[in-house]
Chains A and B, each alone.
Chain A
């Protein structure tokens, strides 16, 4: 109610600037809250559209009413029985496989570069930074040739390898930052207490670095789950395609199968959003590590 009459006052008090601006924060609060709701709405709107359309019966698809009269859960059942569960499984295997690959490769490298100075350390870290910028989109032709020479086109292994490779740099970078932030005294104290090198590593350092490890892993998982262009190029048979690529086949040039498309989109989206909610804060600090401190 104060909102309606405060703007002039607010302007006046801002002009005076030194005067007791008691009403100013209140107007601001209202404006700020309104803006926040607007932004939240604009962001949620596409999800709302996604879910509502996924639940819309085929007959109602073209009707202007935005709320479906009855919810067609069978759209999801159709998705399942239409053989797309196999593609979901492929997506899951690719994401899990590349996450494991990244874990095995990135963890020792990141740990050692964070703990020790040795010849070539800086060179290695710069190599990692540079490769972080390599784009599968730009390398596509080369990747395709490599895997067709290996006879791995249309195989799940090619997708695991490529996704692992392209997410390695980020994982090394973020893990390196985490390991560096753990005081080495803790580890050495445990070592003196007789845990042994590996005992110290597994009982002290790794648990402390767990948030970083989880972040790197979930980030890799999401990136591999969402990947499209490599899978589009490297897989040819529908049953070998991950969900993202398979969905694409519902978009014909003239006809679009919206029902399956939306049911599939919801299924492809929900897991990553849940995973993402777990790490969202850490991803940000990890990505910009070094610039915010």
Chain B
């Protein structure tokens, strides 16, 4: 009983100084020694991470130095893979697909992240101005886009941009011919294909991903805006600050941590987008439209499977992602420290 009372007292202490919490609680009723308990509870998590995330990572690194086909990876009697050193890497760096894929990956991420953040912030600011009901309605409407399966998104957007029955070509045909010719250099949009050239594929692709991604930014920005005390805005208004100055001098500095996390999250999400490109571009047919992940998939899984090369591309992609992750983790750790 005495131990319990003392624990309660210490518990009271903890709330004011959580960092000085004792490492081991004195009252453990399970039969395990105290120091074992955390590791027993963390073990399943560690096992899952090791088996499903770290082991595949090791596999792609290992495969990227080997020549691997289907015969090498089958379950029963796999043939040993031939070690080829850095040949796979030389192959991809010399391939005429490397630079276009890298360019597509990075340009796409840059454009999409920028558009997502700008549009998301604007909509977030707008939502902050709306009444409660209206903003709830808009939030639910736009967040639905975020939850929609990428497959379904691609189907709808492919249909909207369909050459014969798409609503886009139909609307563009309503533009007066002279204007259409002046702006786009096309007079008749019936049957105009959108999924043949890389540029137009990426146009629809960016549009679709921004459509699906910025609601999240908007709602996050809104959550941040709600946390800013309104006195600050009143003060800014008293000082005669216009909306742009207020945003630059009040809103942005206060929401900076939010923006940096959102930016890194968006970069990571936009680097991994695969489904939409795969479905819009018609699988692995259109080689000009490859990004790194689609190229890796195409090398590893189309006939004949060249898994070593696919793995080498995956390693390059992972290396890029890890650099970004490093920035993200540093940001999170920094904000955690700021709060404590």
Contact = CB atoms under 8 A, between A and B. Distances in A.
A293 B297 contact: no
Given A137-B272, A141-B310, A248 B147 contact: no
A253 interface: yes
Nearest to B166: A49
Contacts of A133: 268, 321-322, 324-325, 328
A196 interface: yes
Contact of B138 (A39, A66, A197, A288): A39
Given A188-B8, A196-B29, A228-B151, A146 B56 contact: yes
Interface string A245-282: 10110010100101001100110110011011100110
Interface stretch (B39-47, B89-97, B198-206): B39-47
Given A138-B272, A141-B307, A247-B151, A146 B8 contact: no
Interface string B311-330: 10010011001101100110
Interface residue tally of chain A, by bracket?
A: 35 or more
A18 B53 CA distance: 60
Q: Is the interface of A mostly helix, strand, loop or mixed?
A: helix
Contact of B151 (A18, A106, A268): A268
B53 A138 contact: no
B248 interface: no
Interface string B1-45: 000110110011011000001010101111000010111011011
- The interface centre, meaning the residue of B59, B150, B282 with most chain A CB atoms within 10 A of its CB, is B59
A28 B125 CA distance: 13
Interface stretch (A74-82, A165-173, A209-217): A165-173
Contacts of A69: none
A142 B314 contact: yes
Given A44-B141, A146-B55, A291-B258, A284 B49 contact: no
A112 B155 CA distance: 43
A280 B139 contact: yes
B220 to A, nearest CB: 5
A81 B268 CA distance: 40
B160 interface: yes
A85 interface: no
Contact of A66 (B38, B167, B328): B167
A49 B170 CA distance: 14
Contacts of B213: none
A139 B111 CA distance: 25
A143 interface: yes
A273 B148 contact: yes
A244 to B, nearest CB: 4
A112 B42 contact: yes
A28 B49 contact: no
Contact of B4 (A104, A192, A225): A192
B87 interface: no
Given A109-B42, A133-B268, A291-B261, A141 B151 contact: no
Contact of A112 (B27, B41, B148): B41
A109 B45 contact: yes
Interface in B138-162: 138-153, 155-160
Contact of B300 (A129, A144, A245, A272): A144
Interface string A87-125: 000000000000001001110110111001110110010
Contacts of B59: 141-143, 145-146
B129 interface: yes
Given A33-B134, A131-B53, A291 B314 contact: no
B182 interface: no
Contact of B148 (A113, A118, A269): A269
Interface of A: 14, 17-18, 28, 32-33, 35-36, 39-40, 42-44, 46-47, 49-50, 53, 61-64, 66, 101, 104-106, 108-109, 111-113, 116-118, 120-121, 124, 126-131, 133-146, 148-151, 161-162, 164-166, 168-169, 172, 183-185, 188-189, 191-192, 196-197, 222, 225-226, 228-229, 232-233, 244-245, 247-248, 251, 253, 256, 258, 261-262, 265-266, 268-269, 272-273, 275-277, 280-281, 284-285, 287-288, 290-293
16 contacts: A101-B48, A108-B41, A120-B38, A134-B321, A139-B56, A142-B55, A142-B60, A145-B56, A161-B52, A168-B49, A189-B8, A228-B149, A228-B151, A262-B159, A290-B332, A292-B220
8 interchain residue pairs of minimum CB distance: A165-B52, A142-B56, A142-B59, A276-B147, A265-B152, A133-B325, A151-B75, A109-B45
Given A288-B220, A291-B332, 13 more contacts: A32-B130, A111-B41, A116-B23, A121-B38, A129-B329, A139-B57, A140-B310, A144-B73, A149-B73, A161-B51, A192-B5, A258-B159, A280-B143
